[in-house]
C-alpha cells in the first residue's frame, strides 16, 4: 500500500465543522483533509454524517460552525455551482439526471459547447462524451436518452461528468454499489489514473475490501462525530468495524436450511433482445442468487417474473399457480414480494411518510371493516423500522428525510412485513452499512429458515457467496452456469460471467 501523500498542503480541508437540522446534530466538530495524489476513504454506518459532510463540500449546505479551505484559502461555497467552479466534483450515491435529455446532454448540462450564434455544438458534445466513455472503457452511446438507464449506467454517466469537469477534488459516494466485480475493477483503474494525475479523491464505501484495496487514508465517522483519521496501512477490517460501530460484530455462521418443494418455477422465459430461454427454480427454504455482469439480464428477468415487464415466451409458476404476464398484482396475490434495484424510482413514494411507505404493501392485511386505523399503521411501521434499525426522526416525516441506506431499509421493511412465500431482492444491501448489512443477511436467512423461497440478485460477490445455497450465472441474457454453494468461488463466478469458464477450469 502506497503511503499517504501529506508532505504538501491539502487541496481541500474541513476543520471543526458542525451542522444541525433542528434538534438533529448531523455533524459535531468534524475535521478532514484531502491531499492531491491520494484516495481518502470515508466510512461509517448510515446516519453517521457522511452525506451531510459531502453536501457541505458540494455547496448544498453551509456548516453552522467550522472552516472550509480549498487550495489553502478559506472558502464559503454559496451553492453547487460555486463548488464546481472551485474544482470540486460530486458523484452522488443516487444519480440525479434529466431523463428526457441524452446522455451527452446530461454530462454537459449548463456548459454545453457552443458554435456560431451561440448554438449548441452537438457534434463536439457527443465526441467529448464518447472520449470520456472510452477513457472509462464503457461502450455507452452519448446520444442515448437517459430515461431507462440502469443504476450502474447512471453512475457511469456521473463519473464521466466529473471527468469532463477536470476537477481536482472528486467525491465518490458509494460509486460501486450497483457495479459488478468487472465494472469495479474498471472504475478502480480510472480512480488510480485520477490519483496519478494529482487529484484528491474522497471515496465513500461500505465495502471494506475496497477501502483496503484502493485507499491510502481513512476517516471514520460515528453518530456525527469524528472518530479517527489515519493511514490504511497497518489497519485491519476488525479495527475499522470497531471504530464504525463501537463494538465487535459477531461472526456470522451459515445455517443449514431444510429445503422444501419448488415455490418458483421459471420455464424457458424469453424476452426478445433482452434474455433468452431462462429456466430455473427456487425451493422453499432456499436462497438462490443470480450473478453476472451489469447488463447480463438479471434484473430484467426479475422484473418479468414479478410482472413489471412482459415476456414473449415461457412461463412463471409460483406455488403451482401460473402467473399472468405483466401483472404485479397477480404476482403479489400469489405471495411474491419484490425489492427493486432502484429504490427511489421503483421501491418508494418519496413524498409520502416513512410509515405509509412501510405499510404500503400490507394495507389489505391492516384493514378492518374497510378502514385502517392510524394507530395500527403506526404500530406496524414502528415494529418493522425498529427491527431493521431505521434511523429516523418521526415516522410521519417524508422519505426524503432519510439517508439512502435508511431508504433501502424501508423498502425491505415494506416487503418483509408482507410475509411473502417468494421474495425477490435486487441488490438488497446497496448503500447499507456493514452492521445493517449483517442484519439484512440474518433476516433473509431467517425468512429462508421459515420456508420462504428467496431469489437474490447481487453484484457483490462476497454477499452472493455468503448467502446463496445455489448460484446461477447469467451472461448476455442467458443462464450459463450453476454452482452449489460448496463449488462456488469469486473466480469461477467471474469466469462464467465473462465467458472464460472453460479457460478457468483448464
Residues linked to residue 290 through DSSP beta bridges, in sequence order: 457, 472
Q: Tens digits of per-residue pLDDT, 51-98?
A: 899 999 999 999 999 999 999 999 999 999 899 889 999 988 767 788
Q: What percent of the chain has pLDDT over 90?
A: 47
Q: Tens digits of per-residue pLDDT, 303-319?
A: 999 999 999 999 999 99
Q: What percent of the chain has pLDDT over 70?
A: 93
Helix/strand/coil (H/E/C) assignment for every residue in 279-312? EEEEECCCEEEEEECCCCCHHHHHHHHHCCCCCC
Check whether 253 has a pLDDT greater than 60: no
Encode 217-253: b = buried (16+ Cβ within 10 Å), e = exposed.
bbbbbbebbbbebeebeebeeeebbebbbeeeeeeee
Q: Hey, what domains does the chain have and what are their CATH numbers?
A: 12-97+149-245 (3.40.50.300), 262-505 (3.40.50.300)
Going by pLDDT thresholds of 50, 70 and 90, the confidence category of residue 204 is very high
CB within 8 A of 369, min separation 6: which ones?
none
Please give the full DSSP string across 193-248, using - where no structure is assigned.
HHHHTT-EEEEE-S-HHHHHHH-SEEEEEETTEEEEEEESTT--HHHHHHHHHSSP
pLDDT of res. 1: 45
* Average pLDDT for 396-420: 86
pLDDT of res. 229: 95
Encode 396-422: b = buried (16+ Cβ within 10 Å), e = exposed.
eeebebbbbbbbbbbbbbbbbbbebbb
Question: Which pTM value belongs to this model?
Answer: 0.61
pLDDT of res. 182: 74
User: Which of 32, 30, 37, 40 is closest to 12 using CA atoms?
Assistant: 32
β-strands 24-34, 169-173 pairing: unpaired
Angle at the Cα of 287 (from 283 to 292), degrees rounded to 5? 115
pLDDT of res. 171: 94
pLDDT of res. 3: 47
Amino acid at each position: 500500500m502506497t503511503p499517504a501523500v501529506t508532505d504538501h498542503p491539502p487541496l481541500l480541508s474541513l476543520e471543526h465543522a458542525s451542522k444541525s437540522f433542528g434538534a438533529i446534530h448531523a455533524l459535531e466538530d468534524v475535521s478532514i483533509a484531502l491531499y492531491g495524489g491520494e484516495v481518502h476513504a470515508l466510512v461509517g454506518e448510515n446516519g453517521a454524517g457522511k452525506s451531510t459532510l459531502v453536501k457541505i463540500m458540494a455547496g448544498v449546505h453551509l456548516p453552522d460552525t467550522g472552516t472550509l479551505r480549498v487550495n489553502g484559502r478559506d472558502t464559503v461555497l454559496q451553492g453547487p455551482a460555486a463548488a464546481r467552479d472551485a474544482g470540486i466534483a460530486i458523484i452522488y450515491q443516487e444519480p440525479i439526471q434529466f431523463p428526457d435529455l441524452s446522455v451527452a446532454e446530461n454530462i454537459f448540462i449548463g456548459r454545453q459547447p457552443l458554435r456560431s450564434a451561440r448554438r449548441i455544438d452537438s457534434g463536439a458534445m457527443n465526441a467529448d462524451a464518447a472520449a470520456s466513455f472510452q477513457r472509462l472503457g464503457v461502450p455507452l452511446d452519448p446520444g442515448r436518452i437517459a430515461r431507462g438507464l440502469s443504476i450502474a449506467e447512471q453512475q457511469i454517466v456521473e463519473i464521466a461528468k466529473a471527468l469532463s469537469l477536470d476537477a481536482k477534488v472528486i467525491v465518490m459516494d458509494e460509486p460501486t454499489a450497483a457495479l459488478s466485480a468487472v465494472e469495479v475493477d474498471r472504475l478502480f483503474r480510472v480512480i488510480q489514473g485520477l490519483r496519478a494525475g494529482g487529484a484528491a479523491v474522497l471515496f465513500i464505501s461500505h465495502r471494506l475490501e475496497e477501502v483496503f484495496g484502493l485507499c491510502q487514508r481513512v476517516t471514520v465517522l460515528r453518530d456525527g462525530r469524528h472518530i479517527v483519521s489515519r493511514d490504511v496501512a497497518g489497519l485491519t477490517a476488525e479495527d475499522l468495524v470497531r471504530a464504525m460501530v463501537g463494538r465487535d460484530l459477531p461472526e456470522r455462521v451459515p445455517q443449514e436450511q431444510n429445503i422444501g418443494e419448488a415455490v418458483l418455477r421459471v420455464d424457458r422465459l424469453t424476452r426478445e433482445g433482452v434474455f433468452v430461454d431462462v429456466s430455473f427454480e427456487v425451493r422453499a427454504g432456499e436462497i438462490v442468487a443470480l450473478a453476472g455482469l451489469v447488463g447480463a439480464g438479471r434484473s430484467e428477468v426479475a422484473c418479468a417474473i414479478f410482472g413489471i415487464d412482459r415476456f414473449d415466451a415461457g412461463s412463471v409458476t409460483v406455488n403451482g399457480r401460473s402467473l399472468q404476464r405483466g401483472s404485479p398484482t397477480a404476482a403479489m396475490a400469489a405471495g411474491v414480494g419484490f425489492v427493486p434495484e432502484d429504490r427511489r424510482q421503483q421501491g418508494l413514494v418519496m413524498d409520502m411518510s416513512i410509515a405509509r411507505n412501510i405499510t404500503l404493501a400490507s394495507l389489505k392485511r391492516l384493514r378492518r371493516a374497510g378502514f385502517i386505523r392510524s394507530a395500527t399503521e403506526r404500530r406496524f411501521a414502528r415494529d418493522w423500522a425498529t427491527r431493521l434499525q431505521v434511523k429516523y426522526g418521526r415516522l410521519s416525516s417524508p422519505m426524503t428525510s432519510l439517508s439512502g441506506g435508511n431508504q433501502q431499509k424501508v423498502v425491505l421493511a415494506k416487503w418483509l412485513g408482507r410475509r411473502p412465500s417468494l421474495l425477490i431482492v435486487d441488490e438488497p444491501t446497496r448503500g447499507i452499512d456493514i452492521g445493517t448489512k449483517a442484519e439484512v443477511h440474518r433476516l433473509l436467512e431467517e425468512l429462508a429458515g421459515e420456508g420462504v423461497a428467496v431469489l437474490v440478485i447481487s453484484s457483490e460477490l462476497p454477499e452472493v457467496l455468503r448467502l446463496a445455497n445455489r448460484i446461477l450465472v447469467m451472461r448476455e441474457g442467458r443462464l450459463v452456469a450453476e454452482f452449489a454453494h460448496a463449488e462456488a468461488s469469486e473466480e469461477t463466478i467471474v469466469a462464467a460471467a465473462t465467458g472464460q469458464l472453460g479457460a478457468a477450469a483448464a
